[in-house]
Structure 1
Amino acid sequence: MTSVDVRPDLEDSWKREQMVGAAMTEVALPETQYAQSGDFNIAYQVMGDGPTDIILVPGIISHIDFQHELPGYTRFLRRLAKFSRVVTFDKRGQGLSDRLADVPSLEERIDDVRTIMDAINSKRAALVGFSEGASMSVLFATTYPERVSHLVLFGGLARISDLLPPNLTPSEVQERLAYVVKSWGNGDFLKRVFASDAGNPEILARIAKFEKLGSSPGALKSYILSNRRIDINPILPVVRTPTLVLHRTTDAQVPVTLGRQLAAGIPGAKYIEYPSGDHAFWTGDIERVTGDIEEFITGQRASEGIDLERILATVLFTDIVGSTNLALQLGDHRWRDLLDNHDDLSGRIVSKHRGTLVKSTGDGVLATFDGPGRAVRCALALSEESKSIGLPVRAGLHCGEVEIRGNDIGGIAVHAAARVMSQSGSNEVFVSRVVTDLVAGTDLKFSERGSYELKGLPGKWDLFAASK
């Protein structure tokens, strides 16, 4: 194999510079800024420039930088940013904001919302409060009604102490708190927030890191003790802001009955209950949730058939080579076990490389990545690991714009990745020219494999075999 320079040919240089530039713009994350709230610096980020301002009010912990590492979070914000200016922040004492000696009261915490709105020159905004943030949002809306156009409360509740099992003795309550503090940073506390992924070691490690970055154990203890005094039931009847309450029936952190009670206490509140999903708002059926929020705030909902969400992504297709013959040789039972092992292996490796496993294709997988380098490394790792369990795999990658269709994806880039894969052989990872251009300067190596006419795609495509 001949090692090649992955720089583009001169005649295509301008075209490829535009593509690389577009990729960098698309995957770039918002910069963290700071606003002064009294003596404290509050970290915030802004995404989008729509006519409506949306302020996301966080739960007990947050870290506006690291949360982009959690699957679905950035996609959720980008979906809202299609029709609004979305602002996220870490409240005082959490994440990237100033840490505190004492936990602020709920009244002091809502100053952070006002400070952020003043910093971005927002006169009026819709508040989307998550979990504990629902209480902050309600208090802000009743304190500053002229500054809140809409209230959206996701996974919220009125009285935090209702999360404790009934009939606990004071000593049992203290024992539970001591355990939470002692185990903080191993992912145990947030398991219920991301219940669907609690059994995935890679995602659990990421959740554990989120805990450590979001709050120190001592700060968490103080916040929990302070939050147990929160009870907004007395002010619910005076809420005059249009309110939407969203809750998931299967929420393992905040029981759905508490969401129903919250909605019932607010005059005229609209309530939507989703039959499945986790406590974290950016998990599950993102399109449905963001669509409900958009319709409530703007009065209209983007048509999935007309205005599909489009993002730039690196698309990976894999395929087990000779799967039909292997199935005949092994028999149904053994083949099914081997396929299950392959699917589990694929899920772990894709997650480890910060990808999104879109679906299993029967004898392969379809996945997307927000970075082409991680996508190539994932494909190489998947090829190597699959070979070790007796399954020869081939893979193809292409970077381009894809359409988000609920839990699936579509578009030319998806077809291109499939066609690139079809040209590769056993235990090979083929990539298109654009992928090599985007990872120029890394330690990845590529070998020329010739130009191909790919079915259904115009022109000839230069393909390369990837290696470490």
Structure 2
Amino acid sequence: MSKADSIAFGRKYIHRAAPGSNDRRRDIRPLYETGPPAGGFFEAARGAYDQEMLEPRIQYTRTSDGVNLAYTSFGAGGVPVIALRPPQLSHIGLECGLPFQTRYHEFERMAETMRVVRFDSRGAGLSDRDVADISLEARMRDIDAVADRLGLERFAIQANLHACSWAIAYAAERPERVSHLVLHQPYTRGSDYWSQAARAALESLILVDWVTYTEASMSHAFGWVPGDVPRALAAQMRAAMTPEDFLKYLQVDRETDVTPLLSRVICPVLVVHFDMNALTPRDLAVRLAGSVPDGRLALPGNLRDAIRAMSEFLEHQEPVKERTAAFDDMPLRTVLVANGNARPGVIAERIASHGGAPVALMGGTPTGVFGSAQAALGCARVLAEETGVSIGVHAGEPGSAPATEADQSLVVAVRASVVAAPGEVVVSNVVRELVAGKGFRFRELSAPVVVPLMTEPLRLFALR
């Protein structure tokens, strides 16, 4: 980072090895000099610097394809949130030193009520640079690595601008892990953003004059208003990656289109658009909010209001738990499979409201895992009546491991769902016996069903 960039941030950073750590874990702690520079914007916001600011403790984890990622987390309680930022602007060692107006102590405010996780994507910030694979699929592995390292089984994702397509892809491909999605200034097609006339005009500067490009790009985003905010963000962009890597990400982003994935995003989605900057037109946000199964739109006047809207959005949902031995005490795990045409979001919501864990297996077939057969049947009955889908239920595979497509319990539940008529619930004899005396009535199907790897034909029963 240049001296000018350091002044723009108003603080210096050093790398220190954390006590007892190896060379893959380190802390990055800010060293304040004399506080924020006087004059201009900083003078008006000087009171903000009297508040305690985050000093992120940076740690490292490794992805399944061997990329080292820098991450940090802070806060506790509520719904854990993984905050994604565009790789082109991501540097977790510097972002907490940004001028107050660029983020209004965003992470400090969020951390008051929830756990917040930040990491630098591959090729950016403090993570491994010069990485060959920067595709959406590769970046989804980045999220997996950080979430797994922190023991987060389900979590919310908050994403800004270029990171929104990345978040959408993850929510569509891994619906069992994402509880909520918050998208700021989103777009689904990279061409919608990078083909804007002003953006295209600036692009020729990237390799010619990187400083001028970053300064002009950020000034354009803020409507060419004079002040320290665009300069500070431009400095962070230069720290985040080289111009060569920036061009690589730009090309991948320009060719990305996650529009076909929107219908597969089954979690609640909050789309946030600010009219105060020129990053994306409002109609992109409106269109996206109307294209997901459970979308809503917020048009806040400033970042404070956006944080408040996000907090309310998350607080009105049931908090999710970090990975624990949730199934350890279950004598049997009961699996429900819904087979038919129904909006996936409805099925996942019903499964969760009846105490089950929604998962996406078998080519996207909605599936739920329950701790009791009684809860699974209660959910199945409601789903069959509301959606008319065919439902199969089976209990087995004791233990805490999540259901996989190889589980016999899942295979049997799938076979039962295929046998079931639309709007019918078909269960195995194991389930029927588990709920004996609990008010459920069944009718045995006329012919047992052969299931691979089972020594005897399977007796199936329709719920009356």
- Residues 95, 225 of structure 1: CA spacing in aligned structure 2 closer, same or farther, 3 A cutoff? same
- Residues 208, 130 of structure 1: CA spacing in aligned structure 2 closer, same or farther, 3 A cutoff? closer
Matched, 1:242 2:259: no
Aligned length: 263
Partner of 1:161: 191
Q: How is 1:151-190 mapped onto 2 (pairs within 5 angstroms)?
A: 151-165=181-195, 176-186=202-212, 187-190=215-218
SS of residue paired to 2:226: coil
- Residues 25, 35 of structure 1: CA spacing in aligned structure 2 closer, same or farther, 3 A cutoff? farther
- 1:26 deviates by 4.0
SS of residue paired to 1:258: helix
Map Cα deviations across residues 400-437 of structure 1 (whole Å, 9 max, x no partner).
xxxxxxxxxxxxxxxxxxxxxxxxxxxxxxxxxxxxxx
- 1:208 deviates by 2.9
The question of whether the paired residues in 2 share the 8 Å contact of 1:160 and 1:229 is answered with yes
- 1:97 deviates by 0.7
- 1:198 deviates by 4.1
Aligned equivalents of 1:139, 1:25: Cα separation in 2: 37
- Residues 47, 267 of structure 1: CA spacing in aligned structure 2 closer, same or farther, 3 A cutoff? same
Partner of 1:222: 248
Aligned partner letter, 2:159:
G
The question of whether the paired residues in 2 share the 8 Å contact of 1:250 and 1:256 is answered with no
- Residues 175, 188 of structure 1: CA spacing in aligned structure 2 closer, same or farther, 3 A cutoff? closer
Q: Greater strand percent: which structure?
A: 1
Partner of 1:191: 219
Partner of 2:237: 211
The question of whether the paired residues in 2 share the 8 Å contact of 1:57 and 1:130 is answered with yes
The question of whether the paired residues in 1 share the 8 Å contact of 2:80 and 2:115 is answered with yes
- Residues 203, 247 of structure 1: CA spacing in aligned structure 2 closer, same or farther, 3 A cutoff? closer
Q: Where in structure 2 are there 5+ consecutive unaligned residues?
A: 1-48, 318-464
Map Cα deviations across residues 375-418 of structure 1 (whole Å, 9 max, x no partner).
xxxxxxxxxxxxxxxxxxxxxxxxxxxxxxxxxxxxxxxxxxxx
Q: Where in structure 1 are there 5+ consecutive unaligned residues?
A: 1-22, 277-283, 301-468
Map Cα deviations across residues 200-233 of structure 1 (whole Å, 9 max, x no partner).
1x44442332121011000001110111111011
SS of residue paired to 2:211: coil
- Residues 43, 146 of structure 1: CA spacing in aligned structure 2 closer, same or farther, 3 A cutoff? same
Aligned partner letter, 2:75:
G
Partner of 1:136: 166
Aligned equivalents of 2:98, 2:51: Cα separation in 1: 20
- Residues 76, 173 of structure 1: CA spacing in aligned structure 2 closer, same or farther, 3 A cutoff? closer
Partner of 2:309: 292
The question of whether the paired residues in 2 share the 8 Å contact of 1:246 and 1:273 is answered with yes
Map Cα deviations across residues 331-376 of structure 1 (whole Å, 9 max, x no partner).
xxxxxxxxxxxxxxxxxxxxxxxxxxxxxxxxxxxxxxxxxxxxxx
The question of whether the paired residues in 1 share the 8 Å contact of 2:194 and 2:200 is answered with no
- 1:27 deviates by 4.0
Matched, 1:97 2:127: yes
- Residues 208, 244 of structure 1: CA spacing in aligned structure 2 closer, same or farther, 3 A cutoff? closer
Aligned partner letter, 2:80:
D
Partner of 1:40: 67
Matched, 1:252 2:278: yes
The question of whether the paired residues in 1 share the 8 Å contact of 2:122 and 2:131 is answered with no
Partner of 2:95: 67
The question of whether the paired residues in 2 share the 8 Å contact of 1:64 and 1:90 is answered with yes
Partner of 1:57: 84
Aligned equivalents of 1:130, 1:28: Cα separation in 2: 20
- Residues 31, 255 of structure 1: CA spacing in aligned structure 2 closer, same or farther, 3 A cutoff? same
The question of whether the paired residues in 1 share the 8 Å contact of 2:78 and 2:315 is answered with no
SS of residue paired to 1:55: strand
Aligned equivalents of 2:149, 2:224: Cα separation in 1: 36
Aligned equivalents of 1:248, 1:208: Cα separation in 2: 20
CA root-mean-square deviation: 2.6
Matched, 1:126 2:176: no
